A and B are shown apart, each in its own frame.
Chain A
């Protein structure tokens, strides 16, 4: 089993739609969780950290369920500019190495 797994995608949604991405991780001792965004042929960029209490940043909401080892990202009122690959990232229990999921590609269509 891979350490971090994500919805295979791609997700093709119309502008204004709400879309949710799911991610599971296998290491129960993982300490920190993040969502990164990667545009085509560019480097990954931090979108948001994920906290146990859940956190929101504008149209983006991240949730963490430690018991189920599950992370989610919700994008509301999607924009064309949200088109990208979304990477789920887990920091291992030593607090050093970041483990990336394979990513889920989102295309927001006009």
Chain B
């Protein structure tokens, strides 16, 4: 049973570019949440998708957008990248009130 898979694992982008990160949830999970984790800090909630809709959103600008597909997989898009967007981006999947299962993350470096 595959857990949460994220791609790519590492990415280097130039300031101003756009990036798309991908996530496949654990089998049977229908909810996908995205988090940003800067070095030395706890994960910060970006948004959560359920039934292909953004159900909840954290304090992130509109440059951060997402999508969930009918197979529950999800994408995170970030436009107009800033140096401060450099972080580990974590995808977590869940089902109802269970705890999250995290993917291994995508490490984004903006130069």
Contacts and interface: CB of A to CB of B under 8 A. Distances in A.
A42 B104 contact: yes
B97 A44 contact: no
Contacts of B105: 43
A4 B41 CA distance: 12
A49 B44 CA distance: 20
A97 B48 contact: yes
A91 B92 CA distance: 14
B35 interface: yes
A97 B99 contact: no
Contacts of A91: 97
Interface string B78-96: 0000000000101010000
B72 interface: no
A83 to B, nearest CB: 16
Interface residues of B, number: 24
Given A42-B104, A43-B105, A46-B100, A96 B48 contact: yes
Interface in A67-110: 87, 91, 94-103
B104 A43 contact: yes
Contacts of A41: 88
Contacts of A34: 99
A6 B92 CA distance: 22
B104 A46 contact: no
A87 B33 contact: no
A69 B88 CA distance: 29
A96 B55 contact: yes
